Amino acid sequence: EVQLVESGGGLVQPGGSLRLSCAASGFILSDHYMDWVRQAPGKGLEWVGRTRDKGNSYTTQYAASVKGRFTISRDDSKNSLYLQMNSLKTEDTAVYYCARTSVGQNPFNSWGQGTLVTVSS
Amino acid sequence: DIQMTQSPSTLSASVGDRVTITCRASQSISSWLAWYQQKPGKAPKLLIYKASSLEGGVPSRFSGSGSGTEFTLTISSLQPDDFATYYCQQYNSYSLTFGGGTKVEIK
């Protein structure tokens, strides 16, 4: 069974940093794209970024709203995905989901339960 | 970025009703469109991919259609478990983008 479990969320001040983790099980992480998607309280879904699979050299892609501030990485040996968030803004407050995508043009086919990040002074 | 516009934003319906949700893309996305269902406090769940393909385990009362810039999600006979928010998403090009969501409420 595919499982994705996020952790690392919490309260952080504007300008601060936070690192989220996503523990994956039930599938071979290196064979899949992995994404982060966020949802501000009471709002819709926003794609944050992607890391491609090993076959595509783990290249990354980011939304304009986070480019230069957020970095996605992965450690396939630990079956883990990460989101390093720097220079956080109040508008980054959201539930952050990790999601699995099959290689190529495909939708998000599995999601974690999410972790809440609150950016506030 | 490709803008995705869903309508309506809220829909009130009764059990047994046929429900249709529309999603429009600001430019052609071929058939690279997915639909998700989200319940309060839960992660989204994939229902439909490539505009009209049903994800495994999803009831056959859900169907999708369309291509290019106009797409629809239809629930043929609304069930109590279907009251939720539905999102479309394009995966034709980056940035990947979602529609604003359609909340299906009990009438």
> In the 8-state DSSP scheme, what is residue A32?
E
C-alpha torsion A41→A80→A29→A110, nearest 10: -20
A71-109: b (≥16 Cβ within 10 Å) or e: bbebebeebbbbbebeebeeebbbbbbbbbbeeeebbbb
Question: Is any Cβ of chain A less than 8 angstroms from the Cβ of B64?
Answer: no
pLDDT digits 0-9 by tens, A63-107: 999 999 999 999 999 999 999 999 999 999 999 999 999 999 999
Which A-chain residues 7-26 have CB contacts (< 8 A) with chain B?
none
Give me the pLDDT at residue B68, please. Answer: 98
Which residues of chain A have a CB within 8 Å of the CB of B1? 64
Collect all residues with Cβ–Cβ distance below 8 Å to A12 and sequence separation of at least 6.
Answer: A18, A88, A117, A118, A119
pLDDT digits 0-9 by tens, B81-104: 999 999 999 999 999 999 999 999
Residues of chain B above pLDDT 90, percent = 98
